[in-house]
Amino acid sequence: MLILDQLFDEVEIGDKSPLSPGRTMTEADVVNFCMLTGNWVEIHTNVEYAKHTPFKQRLVQGSLVFSVIPGLVGFGRSVAAFYGIDKLRFVKPVFIGDTVYVQVEIIGKREKDDKLGVVTRRIDVQNQRGELVQTSEQSMLTHRARLDA
């Protein structure tokens, strides 16, 4: 079972997921994200501008990479709500055409009440070369018992 679909009492600090399936970041992703957010910063949208930056090419928005994490790891019905994020870092650039993968490790848990606990996960995103490109600590309100369907 994925550690993202385990109840609060089922997870242990140190539990680690396997590497997720990959997702290639496309030009369509970047353009659609620009449309959705209004983030038309030239490093993402202007090929000629990007050629003259230290990166020599356009970057995928770090917030877009962050946004695809739930689709790669899946959050099952054990998660009641996203509770917060800490220590989000964009470690290396992600370029159009890069494929990203996610690995999750349980780094903390605490009881909230008799129905919920808070589980904190380190979320590491790597590219197709195995380089860490993004990391964060995400906390989720997690059920202590399965909800009836």
CA atoms within 13 A on the CB side of 59: 21
Q: What is the pLDDT of residue 5?
A: 80
* Whether the predicted model's global pTM rises above the 0.75 cut: yes
Does the pLDDT of residue 135 top 90, yes or no?
A: yes
Whether residue 106 is contained in a domain is answered as: yes
Whether residue 39 is contained in a domain is answered as: yes
Whether residue 149 is contained in a domain is answered as: no
Which tokens go with 35? 């449309």
What is the edge-to-edge ordering of all strands in the sheet holding 23-24? 23-24, 99-111, 116-126, 132-143, 79-90
Structural domain count of the chain: 1
CATH of the domain at 129: 3.10.129.10
Residue with tokens 């055409």: 97
Domain, as residue range, for 90? 3-143
Residue 63: pLDDT band with limits 50, 70, 90: very high
Whether residue 55 is contained in a domain is answered as: yes
Residue with tokens 């589980």: 119
Whether residue 148 is contained in a domain is answered as: no
